[in-house]
Amino acid sequence: MFSPARNRRGRRLGTLALALVAGVGLTCAPAAATAPPPPQEDAFYQPPAGYETTAPGTILRTREVQLAAFSVLPQKVQAWQLLYRTTDRNGAADATATTVVLPWGAKPDRSRPLLSYQVAQDSTAPQCVPSYALRQGVGNEGIVTQAELLLIDAAVQQGWAVSIPDHEGRKGLLAAPREPGYLALDGVRAAENFAPLGLNGKDTKVGLWGYSGGALASAWTAEMQPAYAPELNIAGAALGGTVANAGDLAGRTNGGPAAGLFGLAIASLRKAYPQIDAVIEKYVNAEGRELLDFAATHCTAEVSARMAFQDISKYSSIPLEEMLKLPEVRPVLEEIKLGKHAPTAPLYVYHAVHDELPAIADTDALVAGYCAAGDSVTYKRDLLSEHVSLTITGAADALNWLKQRLGGAPAPRGCTKETVLSTLASPTALATFGSVLFNDLLALLGQPIGPRDLA
């Protein structure tokens, strides 16, 4: 049985991992490359005339790119950006980008699986999209997304192809319903038809993975797939720290250290829903609107620092609780909740029991709904982690589950729900964690990323 002392060692390993990453970044960083232009100034992101008549997933433009950890440490992988046609939440044609990655030295291989990894972008400004934040020389405004490159590297190390879509699109719609799923699914379609990856088209085994805001996007992807992209072979989806109920998250974060997340969501919903913008204009004063404007133009780390412990009620003529109950607001909060569509792909769900951001009760309810619809769900509730630490401690078990699904092992039938001391508790998870840490450190030092026989 896993002991508390052993789990503390596991958590210390996670802390050590972050310290080592920071140390490598500080001591081994080469001179910064010339910064590429941000998306709002880069013609690559503008779709060509007439693109609306093409099919969802059609590749519109491609280019090779250099990925770098924390902007300064080049990662030895093969990487491209694909601009492709997709669909917005209202069913209209749109375009967005995905970054697709192959292991260093890998050749096109029709047997290779594809992982669609949705980062926790959690921002609405155009310079925060992963296709920009993961490139060399862009600076560290998108540092939250940049940290997830270490999990992306872990997936590439398995020999998989990886797609990292800009799942909030060119408008940066954080928390918008349906659309993240459409954008990620069309990113899979584009990747499967991108010749340099050499994948097996719609027969490619596909996995989905994301944590927090990335899990929200991955859950929408799993929910939208049966109706929107039924031809795709989704072998499984791993969802960690899922934001199942964004309206509930607002009440939990407002006025606390993570109040910036609420500000980012409101800044996004103002773009997506005119009625939300009208409510803000009516009830929130100029100082509060200035804060929300800041949230709309900056990435997660800066907004979190600026808005920490800010209570929106301080800037409003009515309390937040009353604002959330307004007839203009309630339908929006209902629409952005997960759980209205049943995925058909197997799911692995992991969540901290004492998560201070998305409530465990909301994920319990989401899983119960999926199970009632007949889904295959493996659900692990972690007692000793909280929201941020589970990003690290939960990754190994999620990766192991994905390896089984993408390796062809059938998912367990039905649903299992287990409360564990830590998802890092099993010997297999600890072994994977150690391997990921070791290989990520090699990647940060410029070693090729991928199975050794490809190096």
223 and 284 inside one domain: no
**Domain total for the chain?**
2
> Does residue 214 form part of some domain?
yes
Is residue 125 located within the same domain as residue 233?
Answer: yes
Kindly state the average pLDDT of the residues 415-438: 96
Catalytic pick from 131, 212, 313, 385? 212
Tens-digit pLDDT profile for residues 52-90: 999 999 999 999 999 999 999 999 999 999 999 999 999
- pLDDT, residue 247, reads 79
Range name among 50-54, 116-120, 183-187, 450-454 with the lowest pLDDT average: 450-454
Tell me which amino acid residue 161 is.
A
- Asked if pLDDT for residue 1 goes beyond 80, the answer is no
Residue 273 in domain? yes
Tokens describing residue 446: 């410029």
- Catalytic annotation, pick one of 88, 166, 355, 397: 355
Query: DSSP letter at 48?
Result: P
The answer to whether 265 and 304 have CB atoms below 8 angstroms apart is: no
Q: 54 CB contacts (<8 Å, ≥6 apart)?
A: 60, 85
Query: Cα dist. 343→16, 221, 227, 242, 431 in Å?
Result: 37, 9, 10, 15, 31
Give pLDDT, residue 454: 56
Does an H or E element contain 238, and which? Answer: strand 233-240
Domain that holds residue 152: 6-242+423-454
Instruction: Round the average pLDDT of the chain to a whole number and report it.
Output: 92
| 91 and 48 housed in the same domain | yes
Residues 179 and 323 in one domain: no
Rounded to whole angstroms, the Cα distance separating 401 from 412 reads 11
Least confident window among 72-76, 231-235, 320-324, 338-342: 320-324
Both 20 and 63 in a single domain? yes
State the CATH number of the domain containing residue 326.
Answer: 1.10.260.130
Rounded distance between C-alpha atoms, residue 222 and residue 226, angstroms: 8
Among candidate residues 167, 387, 397, 422, the one labeled active-site is 387
178 and 154 in one domain?
yes
> Is residue 273 domain-shared with residue 235, that is, in the same domain?
no
**Nearest residue to 381 via CA among 414, 420, 412:** 420
Q: What is the pLDDT of residues 335-390, one digit of tens each?
A: 999 999 999 999 999 999 999 999 999 999 999 999 999 999 999 999 999 999 99
Is residue 304 domain-resident?
yes
Query: Distance (Å, rounded) from C-alpha 38 to C-alpha 131?
Result: 10
Same domain, 156 and 22: yes
Looking at the structure, do residues 252 and 307 belong to the same domain, yes or no?
yes
Assigned domain for 310 exists = yes
Q: How far apart are CA 107 and CA 454, in angstroms?
A: 9
Contact (CB, 8 A) for 231 and 202 = yes
Cβ-contact 363, 380 below 8 angstroms: no
| Final residue in a domain of this structure, among 335, 363, 387 | 335
Question: Please, which residues have CB within 8 angstroms of residue 215's CB and are 6 or more apart in sequence?
Answer: 118, 120, 239, 240, 241, 242, 243
Instruction: Tell me, yes or no, if 355 is annotated catalytic.
Output: yes
Whole-angstrom distance, CA of residue 17 vs CA of residue 219:
28
Residue 153 maps to a domain: yes
Q: What does the pLDDT read at residue 14?
A: 41
* CATH number, residue 98: 3.40.50.1820
Of 302, 335, 368, which one is at a domain's C-terminal end?
A: 335
**Does 388 map to a domain?**
no
User: pLDDT value at position 18?
Assistant: 44
Lowest mean pLDDT among 13-22, 132-141, 270-279: 13-22
Residues 250 and 179 reside in one and the same domain: no
Q: What is the pLDDT of residue 22?
A: 43
DSSP characters over 47-108: PPTTGGGSPTT-EEEEEE--BEETTTEE-BEEEEEEEEEEE-TTS-EEEEEEEEEEETTPPP
Classify residue 385: in a domain, yes or no. Answer: no
196 and 277 assigned to the same domain? no
**Listed residues 303, 335, 367: the one ending a domain:** 335
Asked whether residue 249 carries a pLDDT value surpassing 90, the answer given is no
Instruction: Answer yes or no: do 301 and 444 share one domain.
Output: no
What's the mean pLDDT in 289-310? 95
